[in-house]
Chains A and B, each alone.
Chain A
Amino acid sequence: MHPAPSVILFTVLSGMGFGLLATLGFGLLPVTGWAALLFYGVGYALAVAGLLASTFHLGNPQRALRAFTQWRSSWLSREGWASVASLLLMAPVAAGAVFMGRLMPVLGGLAAVLCLVTVLTTSMIYAQLKTVPRWNHWTTPALFFGHAVAGGALLAGLGNAPVLLLLLGLFMALSFRTGDRRFADRGHTLATATGLRGGAVRSFAPPHTGTNYLMREMIHVVGRKHALKLRVIALLCVSVLPALVLLALPSGLVAIALAAALHLAGALVGRWLFFAEAEHVVGLYYGRR
């Protein structure tokens, strides 16, 4: 799949933002006043920046409000509702902490649950697609969830952040490994795609000499040759290095900022791979994946 910057930024930034907001909402970091302004501000900025980025790839963004209508059937629509609902519900919690120095555990907890639901709906946009076997698995929501929880804990500077980061790294490695086999395991081949029997089938000639939307969007092969190196870089930056930074440096904003920068870079690389390595079954018709 084409690793469009808009969707990479959308899923990474909003995932981290909602993860941080959830951490704050659950009262795991009971901050008030200026500190609350900083933490809630970062959470909101990341979540909103991510959501705005998601509109960049739309063909007709002026109609984006229509995306709220089909929540009964569409995960993308549910994602819209969940993100707006959690941001709105979190607003009084944030305002209370910043301006009145008051914590609201009940409302905060509710908003935090909604934040995690938002991350889940985001992941289901990808996990629901049977056409992309690598995504169509419980590891996709689990991976997005893990990113949000570990990223949120890291940004909030929680003591258990290094452990969560290392667990996330292990899970990323697991999902890389299991994802590699899934296309073959599902049994999609050019023979099932065309129904042609009685011999080995291969693509002889594509429909057009040039490229097309389907090939640009769903048959992304550029950069896959570096996939293994990028996986290592992603794992190191997402998990190992920020965990080491948090353990080695004295706790404080500097350590958090350095670890978060590494983590963000790793998450962007990991999400680039999430798209670039995902193979769509339509590639079979074009004789490549």
Chain B
Amino acid sequence: MTTLPPPSEKKLGLVIDLDTCVGCHACVTACKGWNDQGYGAPLSDQDAWGPAPSGTFLNRVHSYEVTPEAGVAQLVHFPKSCLHCENAPCVTVCPTGASYKRAEDGIVLVNESACIGCGLCAWACPYGARELDQAAGVMKKCTLCVDRIYNENLPEVDRIPACVRTCPAGARHFGDLGDPDSAVSQLVAERGGIELMPEQGTKPVNRYLPPRPKDRLEETAPLAPLLDIKATGFAGWLDRLLDRI
């Protein structure tokens, strides 16, 4: 059914630290790598070596520039994937029941064998988290690596989403955001984690930790004293004379 289940106690999701993310795109690569070989249709590419490459990705890293009123601009790298919303609009619009939210842990998934590829769920998502795979004709989205996190064949250290496992900066955190005592919930509380586009009313589970305030660089200009040249002698007399007229 594509009606939403009652809110689950367990809300698995990601916490992404915008302060720490260095924009290396390793999470993008790890995500694409893992999701090419396991769950559902592989993420295809079109014209991969041609002049206009394009492909399916479940995680993309944007870069934004924040320019304060005074001071220098700051660059913020911004990874974006499915936020596993509590009030997921992508689920209720689905005509076939392919798009669903799991009652037990809140993960939003697509049953690819029921997906007709109409694309309406991608239209309903404000975050651009869903992409229709051009080769398979089915909707692809972040599964929160549901085939890793419960997979007892993997060493315990690997039972986290591929993007979190690979992040070299430790900017991605995975856990239960429904449990106020979990490490991720405490991180959100401590750092003032935020929801994206709250005015859409989607109640996303994933949170973003805003960049910490940076030390303000003072206006430094090491060559400034050299510019403050006082004219002396004849030139000085001329300078004073011209000032007077």
User: Which A residues fall within an 8 A CB radius of B?
Assistant: 1, 57-61, 63-64, 66-70, 72-77, 80, 125, 128-132, 186-188, 190, 192-208, 210-214, 217-218, 280-282, 285-286
22 contacts between A and B (CB under 8 A): A58-B118, A58-B137, A59-B118, A59-B119, A59-B133, A66-B96, A66-B116, A70-B96, A70-B97, A77-B96, A129-B93, A130-B126, A130-B200, A195-B210, A196-B211, A200-B67, A203-B62, A203-B63, A207-B28, A212-B54, A212-B57, A280-B123
Query: Which residue of chain B is the closest to A208 with respect to CB atoms?
Result: B60
B89 at the interface (CB under 8 A from A): yes
The answer to whether B95 touches A196 (Cβ under 8 A) is: no
Once bound together, how far apart are the Cα atoms of A211 and B93, in whole Å? 26
B65 touches A202 (CB 8 A): yes
Q: Are A69 and B97 interface neighbours, CB within 8 A? A: yes
| Chain B 196-226 interface 0/1 with A at a Cβ cutoff of 8 Å (1 = within) | 1111110000001011010000000000000
Residues on A with beta carbons closer than 8 Å to the beta carbon of B188: none
Complex Cα distance, B197 from A196, in Å, reads: 11
Contact of A69 among B55, B57, B96, B131 (CB under 8 A): B96
State which of A80, A125, A196 has its C-beta within 8 Å of the C-beta of B120. A125
8 further A-B contacts with Cβ under 8 Å, apart from A63-B116, A69-B96, are: A59-B118, A76-B118, A194-B196, A203-B63, A208-B57, A210-B52, A212-B54, A285-B128
A204 to chain B, nearest CB (A): 4
Chain A neighbourhood of B167, CB < 8 A: none
Chain B interface helix/strand/loop/mixed: loop
> Which of B61, B64, B94 has its CB near the most chain A CB atoms (within 10 A)?
B64
- Which parts of B126-153 form the interface with A (CB within 8 Å)? 126-128, 131-134, 136-139
Q: Is A59 a contact partner of B117 (Cβ separation < 8 A)? A: yes
Closest to B98 in A: A66
Assess A196 versus B96: contact at CB under 8 Å? Given A73-B1, A187-B199, A218-B128: no
Q: Taking the nearest CB of chain B, how far is it from the CB of A254, in angstroms?
A: 40
B93-A128 in contact (CB<8A)? yes
Residues in B whose Cβ lies below 8 Å from that of A75: 93
**Residues of B at under 8 Å CB distance from A?**
1-3, 18, 28, 52-57, 60-69, 73-76, 78, 80, 89, 92-98, 114-120, 122-128, 131-134, 136-139, 194-201, 208, 210-211, 213
Chain A residues near B119: list those with CB within 8 A: 57, 59, 217
Across-interface contacts of A206 in B (CB, < 8 A)? 62
Residues of A within 8 A of B198 (CB): 192
CA distance A201 to B57 in the complex (A): 24
In the complex, which residue of chain B has the Cβ closest to the Cβ of A198?
B68
Nearest to A66 among chain B residues (CB) is B96
Q: Count the A-B residue pairs with Cβ separation under 8 angstroms: how many? A: 194
Q: Which of A64, A67, A131, A205 has its CB near the most chain B CB atoms (within 10 A)?
A: A131
Give bound CA distance, A196 to B196, whole Å. 10
How many whole Å from B177's CB to the nearest CB in chain A?
A: 16
**From residue B202, how far is it (CB to closest CB) to chain A in Å?**
9
Given A72-B3, A192-B197, A204-B63, also A57-B95 (CB < 8 A): no
Among the listed B2, B64, B69, which residue makes an inter-chain contact with A73, where contact means beta carbons less than 8 Å apart?
B2
Q: What are the residues of chain B within 8 A of A57 when measuring CB–CB?
A: 118-119
Q: How far is the CA of A280 from the CA of B127 in the complex (A)?
A: 10
Query: Which one of A69, A130, A213, A280 has the highest number of Cβ atoms from chain B below 10 Å of its Cβ?
Result: A213
Nearest CB in chain B to that of A214: its residue? B128
**Cβ-defined partner of A198 (8 Å) among B66, B92, B117:** B66
A35 to B188, CA, bound (A): 70
Instruction: Determine the chain B residues whose CB is within 8 A of the CB of A194 once the complex forms.
Output: 64, 76, 78, 196, 208
Contact B2 A74 (CB under 8 A): yes
- Which residues of A are found within 8 Å of B131, using beta-carbon distances? 212-214
CB <8 Å contact, A70 and B1 = yes
Report chain B residues within 8 Å CB of A214.
122, 128, 131
A281 and B198 CA atoms in complex are apart in Å by: 12
Contact of A63 among B18, B114, B126 (CB under 8 A): B114
